[in-house]
Structure 1
Amino acid sequence: MCVPLVARSGTVWTALAHIITAVIGSGVLSLAWSVSRLGWIAGPLTMLAFASITLTSAFSLCNCYKSPDTNDGFHRNGSYLDAVQRILGKKSAWICGIIVRINFIKLGIVYTITSSISMRAIQRSNCFHREGHKAACKYGNTYYMLIFGGIQVIVSQIPDFRNTQWLSVIAAIMSFTYSSIGAALGLAKVIENGEIKGSIGGVPTSTAIQKVWSISQALGDIAFAFPFSVIFLEIMDTLKSDPPEKVTMKKASLVAVCITTFFYLCCGGFGYAAFGDATPGNLLTGFGFYEPYWLINFANACVVLHLVGGYQVFSQPLYANIEKFLAKKFPNSRFVHGDLKQMPV
C-alpha cells in the first residue's frame, strides 16, 4: 500500500508569513473610512475588540488540530472542514463545506476586483500627473482583471499549500510596505494640515437610518479585515512537530494579530486624522493623495503583488478539495495521481 509523503517543515516564521498574507489585505487602506464613520473612540476600540476576538478564536482552533484516534492515537485535522467533520459529524461538515467553499470563491472574486482597481489606479495616477488633478482619467477594470487572472493561472501550478511559503513571504513583505506607505502619507498630511481632523462621533448624517447604515458598513469592513480561521488549520498543518504545532501556532498568531492591529490602527488613525469627514474609501485608489505619484504607484504595485499571494493562500485549499474529490472519483487515473510523491508502508 502507498500513501502520499507529507513533509511538514514549517516554522513560526512561515506560519507568520501565511497569517499576515491572509489577514493584512488592501482592506487596511479602507480602515480610515471605517474610523471616520465610527469616530475617534469607537473606531480604535472596535479594532481592538475584533483583534481580541480573532486571537481567542485562533487559540481555540489550536486545540482542534489533533483529534483522538483509536488506531494511531491521534488524527491531524488538516483543514477547517476536516475538523468540523471529525468533531461535529458529516452532516455539519456538509453544511460547513458549502459555506467555506463559497467563502473561498468569494475571496477569489474580491481579490481579482481589488487587484484590478489597484492596477487601474496606477494608470490614473500617471494620467493625473500628466493632465492635472482635475482631469477625467477614467479607465475600465476588465483588462486588468484578465491580466490578474492570467497571472493566477500560472501561479496556480504550485502543487499545494505547503509550497506557497515563499509566495507568502513575498506577499507579507508587500503588505507591510503598502501599509507603511499609507500610514506615512496620512501622517505627512496631518503635519501638512497642522491639525488633527475628525470627531468623537464620526461623520454626521442627516437621518438616524443613514448613521446606522454607515456604522454597520464600518463594522463590517473592520470585521472582514481580521479573521483567518478558514485557513488556520491548513497553516498549522505545514508546521513541524518539534516544538509542538500548538505552541508554534499560538506564538505566530499572537505576533501576527499584534502586528496587524498596529498597522490597522496606524492606517485608520492617520488617515482619519488627515482627512476627517472627507476620508476616501481607499487611501491609495480613492485619491486622497496625488503626490508623490511614483510612491502611490509603487504602493499600488505592492498591493497587486500581495493579492497574487493572498489569492493563492485562499485558493489552494479549494484546489485541494477539488483534487481530493477527483482522486476518489478516478482512483486509477495517472493524470490525477501522477504528482503525488509516494512511499511504501
Structure 2
Amino acid sequence: MRLHLGYIPLLDAAPLIAAAEFGFAAEEGLELDLSAEPSWATLRDRLALGYLDGAHMLAPLALASALGLSGPPADLVVPLGLNLNGNAVTLSADLWQAMAPGEDGPATVARAFAGLAETRRRAGRPIVLGTVHPFSCHTYQLRHFLALGGLDLAAVRLVAVPPQHSVEALSRGIVDGFCAGAPWNGVAVAAGIGRIAALGCEIVPDAPEKVLALSARLGEGALPLVRAVARAGLWCAEPGNRAELAHRLAARAFLGQDAGLVARCLDGEIILDAAGRRRRVAGYIHLGRPALEPAADQLRWLIDEMAEAGQIPTAGIAATLEAAGRIYRPDLLRAAGLDA
C-alpha cells in the first residue's frame, strides 16, 4: 500500500521520517511518500481535502479540523501520539537585553517580560510574538507564560508564523520573539539573533504536542501504518539510536540543519544564548513512551485550553469533549498490537 503523509520540518516529525527511512513502514508492506508542507494551515487543508492520507499534526489543530473549527471540515481519527513537549519561547537578543531578568526561571523571566510588554503597549508599540497556529500548544503555552507575569494575550500582538520561518521572521524584525518546536529555537540561538527565554516543558509539563492524524477513510487499513509509526517512535526514543536519527533528520531533505544541533535537542542539551550558556533538561522532548497513547486526560486538557483561549464556548465543553472523544482512537493503537 502506498500512502502520502504530510509533515512540517520539526524534530517531532521523527517517528514519521524514521518509519519511512529505517524500514518500519516497509516491514508492514507500506510505501510512504513524505511531503514537507509549507505551513500548518496548508497541511490541514490538504489532509481535509484528501490530498494527504495522514499527517504529523498539531494535537489541537487535529481536533479543530475534525470538529469544523478550523479550515474545511475533515473526517479524521487520531490513533497515535508522536511526542510530548519540545517547544520553547525564544526572544530577540535585543529584547532579552532590555528585559534584563537576571535569572532563567520561567516566573522571573515572565515578570521581566511583562514589565517591558506593558511599557511597549503604553507607547503604542506592542511586542509581537509568533506562534505556529492559533490551534496549537504553542499558543496555549504563550498564554500561560504571559500569565506568570500577570499578563494576558491582549498585552502582545500574536501572529502566525510557520515554525521553519520563525528564525527568518525574528532576524527581519517581523516578530520580537516566537514559540516554536525544536530545532528552530536552537537555530535562532546559533545564528546569534535569539535567546531561549523559557522552555515549554517548564511552562506546561508534558503538553501533548504532535499526533498522527489520519483520514477516517483508511479504516482498518490504517493499522499497519499505526504499527509502523508507533514502532518507529519507540526506536527514536532509544538513546543508542540518537546519533543515527540526528544524522538522518539533519539531511537537507528533512530539517536541513546541523546534525550536532539536532542531536543536542534530542538529548535535551539546550544552548540558551550566543555566549554558550546551556542547560540539560531531561524532559525537553519525549518521543515514544509516554507519548504514544492519545489519552483521555490529554484530550480534556486540550479542550479546556481551547475554551480558555476563547476558541470554543465554555458552555459547550461537555458536548465538544464528547465529539472529540470520537476522534481520539487509542483503540486503534491497541488493535495494531501496541499500547502505551
- Structure with higher Rg: it is 1
- The structure richer in helix per residue is 1
Q: Please, what TM-score do these two structures have when normalized by structure 2? A: 0.26
Q: Please, what TM-score do these two structures have when normalized by structure 1? A: 0.26
Structure with the bigger RCO (C-alpha within 8 Å, sep 6+) is: 1
- The structure richer in strand per residue is 2
